[in-house]
Structure 1
């Protein structure tokens, strides 16, 4: 399996290079403008750690020059990012340049001294950091920003979909296969998405009727987006709400899993510098050497658009039993190469996260009808991705068409919807992995339950499903079919 996965990865990388996808290395959520967030995942316990960070800062101007060269070649080969996505990037760089060198997010590690580090030595490190940022990094960032504004943005594609580029549909067919680890066509994926949307609409209608709401589903979604009862009035209160939910999740895991990860996780706010342009939450894996736990990052920007009824399902997906449980367990697997324990297939990783959302019912969550609606909203969100991602990149939808379709079918806030659509525009195909992976895991569970009847053990099923790390969906199916056959013998 390791050989097959490595061979697949190498072939994919060759195809990606041949198709010119490497010439679009930046979007609003990825690129050198976000490199300061690396400090969230490294330790500052010694002078060596600070020196390492200084060396990173010293190398960033060269890295920016390399990004610029890639983007210029992308212009030449007609491999450019969508303008609507790239228009956000100069403002992100502006936030890095605001104030003095000491105000830079890259300087932040030097604001607090490590215990035991001599104050005179710390003062020297701070002076060096100020000089590196003021004389090297900030001018390079300003020059890169100017290049984006004057050269790259005018050359960016006006259409949101990658299909508008030369050979663009071939690009997207490759990405669809890469992210789903299947041979499904964009047309087939689009139809699966529409079928899932129709199924979920019926369940959402049931919840709406159960709370006695008289209007149609769009009116109900508008009510949920606008009624203050569903929102916290401060970032601090929102963060406390997330912490309280996280504390409720861990004790329920033993009902569903025989093996739990040794590595813990924590909850952190998304850094202010990137919060306006990113999603509601994300997960950062533990350090491979065990020096850092995993972290569940939550977006506290504009709490008035972060619904309470989505917080349970979001936490289940990003923390446990979703990403943290699966990824931490994979990192603790023995006898596998590093690329198996610290990486893996998106369709498995995100499919598991979405499947884990359904496990919330077995964990005693979603008892409030609005929280149940939140779970359905998140499932709908991933079904809609199949429709709008293929719509944008393969069928030529406009950005507004995608926003309108999403808004008509989901109870998410307008801010979330716009950020999500722009994410799909900037990262073609990745959004397909969630629902395709979830449907495969659900089908395998149903197959096991039907085959084993009363002998079906949910803990054993989950332990085996997670026991090889994040693998392609076809390999997962073979693995679980063999497990079912063994259980029956």
Structure 2
């Protein structure tokens, strides 16, 4: 009854508005027409100015960050590396963020159409956060064991990532980019020396984890180097002369320039940097570390939440999930306590594969099962497919259990769902459904591939990303698996709870390490006490939080916001609520900060009413 009355009131308001405008027009039609034309002209002017500005911004960004351009499928800069540690680069980055923020502020946001107002808010948010971020000395910490330019270059050099190796020019481009990388290694060492002088250094254990990654690149025979892999698969279209030239160039490049540069960095890490590494494990051990960590928490969650509030949310979520886990224990008839149940699930042979390929095959079969139910929950699905691959051997010892790499924008390469097969005891069968939902479809693969395939939005918007949105969506996708009927097996449901527990523990452990004075050992023990995770996985997770503080907070914070928005929309819309339509709203504007996403969903709900 209330809905019907509301609809009538809204209709009456629109009717009265129409009558009022028509009567006014009858009296002074010329003025109204002129005002209408002026309003349209104002919107067109604002829109054209905004689109021109963000187009120029994106082009400047690709010039400044040529490796990103390659990942985005823009191949104009494949021979360039970029100077992301040089003083010139840092000044250029500051100047262009300052310049574009000033340009944006000269545009009347209210004169833009609704979708571009959303884009405008996103753009201004980015520029402001980038300018705040540069006030902290991240340049002194250019690499870590979990994520760094070094790892990215090894992946690109393998020939199995975004760097193309199709034409002779492609091979020459990569050689040129490697020379830029070698120069970057020199600058990285110089910045790390500055960091030692400023007491901004990595924890000792992380440096110890990095050294083997460099050691692994040293080979007796150049042809055994991962950087030689593209030469082993030279296109058949190459002439014998071109083939011989590329083979000779790459052998010289790897043996005479690249491997010596990597060995020099390895020696620096062992002989100079490791002795200067810090004994503390959290960011609070750095100068101004607490303020820096609060900034990183805000940056990654795209909220203004304090680290204390996030820590408390984590504690509450851990308690709730433990209660759900105990219900599963009772459901399957396990007679011991919850810790004994954890131990059983983490050790008994029936819960694990014995061969690496069996694990990969299991995920491929699961992909088919999930794909069958997706059309019931989504109107919009990605055109790009994804494949399942094992993590490369050079990084499997320190890599996460799974990850996702986006497809090529031009459709030439599918997305990749990476599974770490290094320790099969860290990959239980009962965790497979939720991991696939998170990393592949409808998690990261849907969100990232759909974003890249968007049309009619500015280029920067298709390629920008916010961890809270992307990881929040992926964790929401795990929750969606319940409604899809994919967790009818209580053990698979336990796997969902186990993964959710990981994200809840991250709120506690990340803030504990960086704001509460927790040690690495204390963080590891907390995760052992509250989950069935393998110890090797727990150690890799904790060391990841030590390396990239704040990033791990984004998963749970983002998921809770999406669930909150959905619950609010369901309550306000009632029978008018459509889950596929809600998913359209979340996925079809690219990655958004939480506040901007909230505005979009609110406008959608109002439009449905």
The alignment's TM-score, normalised by the length of structure 1, stands at 0.97
2:608 aligns with 487
Aligned to 1:3, which of 95, 115, 120?
120
Matched, 1:89 2:218: no
Aligned to 1:23, which of 140, 153, 157?
140
- Corresponding residue SS for 2:193: helix
Give distance in 1, aligned partners of 2:458 and 2:191.
31
Worse overlay, 222-231 or 431-440: 222-231
Shift, 1:313, TM fit: 0.6
1:32, 1:64 within 8 Å by CA — same for their partners in 2? no
Worse overlay, 157-166 or 243-252: 243-252
1:172, 1:394 within 8 Å by CA — same for their partners in 2? yes
Shift, 1:254, TM fit: 0.6
Give distance in 2, aligned partners of 1:236 and 1:206.
33
- Corresponding residue SS for 1:19: coil
- Corresponding residue SS for 1:364: coil
Give distance in 2, aligned partners of 1:78 and 1:218.
41
Give distance in 2, aligned partners of 1:366 and 1:44.
42
- Corresponding residue SS for 2:497: helix
Matched, 1:170 2:170: no
2:131 aligns with 14
1:275-299, Cα deviation, whole Å (9 max, x unpaired): 1101011011122333322111111
1:264 aligns with 385
Give distance in 1, aligned partners of 2:196 and 2:124.
31
Matched, 1:413 2:531: no
Shift, 1:315, TM fit: 0.7
1:37 aligns with 155
Give distance in 2, aligned partners of 1:465 and 1:271.
33
Give distance in 1, aligned partners of 2:396 and 2:460.
30
Matched, 1:183 2:304: yes
Relative contact order, higher structure (CA 8 A, sep 6+): 1
1:33, 1:92 within 8 Å by CA — same for their partners in 2? no
Worse overlay, 118-127 or 416-425: 118-127
2:466 aligns with 345
Give distance in 2, aligned partners of 1:66 and 1:351.
35
- Corresponding residue SS for 1:276: coil
1:258-316, Cα deviation, whole Å (9 max, x unpaired): 11111221111111100110101101112233332211111111223311111111111
Matched, 1:379 2:500: yes
Q: Which runs of 5+ in 1 are unaligned?
A: none
1:313-368, Cα deviation, whole Å (9 max, x unpaired): 11110110000111111112223222210122111011000000011122231222
2:414 aligns with 293
- Corresponding residue SS for 2:217: helix
1:68-112, Cα deviation, whole Å (9 max, x unpaired): 122112112222122211211110111111332111111111111
2:561, 2:594 within 8 Å by CA — same for their partners in 1? yes
2:401, 2:426 within 8 Å by CA — same for their partners in 1? no
Shift, 1:449, TM fit: 1.3
> What is the count of residue pairs matched by the alignment?
488
1:146-184, Cα deviation, whole Å (9 max, x unpaired): 111111122222111001111110011111111111110
Shift, 1:50, TM fit: 1.6
Give distance in 1, aligned partners of 2:274 and 2:124.
36
- Corresponding residue SS for 2:216: helix
1:458 aligns with 579
Matched, 1:248 2:369: yes
Taking the TM superposition and a 5 Å limit, the aligned residue runs for 1:160-239 are 160-239=281-360
Give distance in 2, aligned partners of 1:133 and 1:59.
14
Aligned to 1:141, which of 249, 262, 270?
262
Shift, 1:224, TM fit: 1.0
Give distance in 2, aligned partners of 1:484 and 1:168.
41
1:48 aligns with 169
- Greater than 4 Å deviation, 4+ residue runs: none
Structure with bigger gyration radius: 2
1:42, 1:292 within 8 Å by CA — same for their partners in 2? no
Give distance in 2, aligned partners of 1:21 and 1:139.
26
The alignment's TM-score, normalised by the length of structure 2, stands at 0.78
1:113 aligns with 234
2:512 aligns with 391
Give distance in 1, aligned partners of 2:571 and 2:284.
42
1:436 aligns with 557
CA-atom RMSD in angstroms = 1.3
